[in-house]
A and B are shown apart, each in its own frame.
Chain A
């Protein structure tokens, strides 16, 4: 049971920002929120993760609601290379022996030129 809910698909135009939502209403206090993306026939790729505070890195930003029941992955300027399946995953602390990732249904992001 992945216990996260994401829209099946989203579309964006190139150069525009993209906001990918995720609901995780039953998240526990110790669960991290991880985002991965997967291009066709490739392994999933780490995007970003966070616990309570908003996070930024060179790929994206992660906005976490104050009650932690939802989060939003923000791609500031979508490119064609960002077209992928995006997975929002709740899980344990990275690298712990209980840190497996449970993938659910992700969001298929289509980016139009």
Chain B
């Protein structure tokens, strides 16, 4: 069965650079969620999209932006990267009525 695909799996950037993380939800899933998990931390909700519109917003820095495209994939854009942005970034997808959210394997971002 198709899963949530995230790319890239690993990313190394320098401070003040930009990064773009991509998420491809399970086919026919119309909702995407982004989470950030710092070292030793629990996942923190960043932002979500439902039918290509932002549906909820969590503790996402102003330096970050995201969108969901017509094919339902989503991209998280991160600018002016800081060392503290180093984390695992997970994407999850769902659709009304199904059981649970399906998470991707994550993108590990390292800012040096």
Contacts and interface: CB of A to CB of B under 8 A. Distances in A.
Contacts of B44: 103
Nearest to A42: B105
B100 interface: yes
Contacts of B97: 94-95
A98 B49 CA distance: 10
Interface residues of A, number: 25
Interface in A62-110: 87, 93-106
A97 B56 CA distance: 7
Contact of B98 (A45, A95, A104): A95
Nearest to B90: A43
Contacts of A43: 4, 90, 92, 103-106
A96 B96 contact: yes
Contacts of A46: 99-102
Interface in B73-112: 88, 90, 92, 94-106, 108
A95 B28 CA distance: 12
A93 B31 CA distance: 13
Given A95-B95, A98-B56, A101-B92, 12 more contacts: A41-B106, A42-B106, A43-B104, A44-B90, A44-B103, A46-B100, A97-B55, A100-B33, A100-B58, A102-B45, A103-B35, A103-B44
29 contacts: A41-B106, A41-B108, A42-B105, A42-B106, A43-B105, A43-B106, A44-B103, A46-B102, A87-B42, A93-B96, A94-B96, A94-B98, A94-B101, A95-B95, A96-B96, A97-B50, A97-B56, A98-B55, A98-B56, A99-B101, A100-B45, A100-B56, A100-B58, A101-B33, A101-B43, A101-B45, A103-B35, A103-B42, A103-B45
Interface of A: 34, 36, 38, 41-46, 49, 87, 93-106
Interface of B: 4, 31, 33, 35, 42-45, 48, 50, 55-56, 58, 88, 90, 92, 94-106, 108
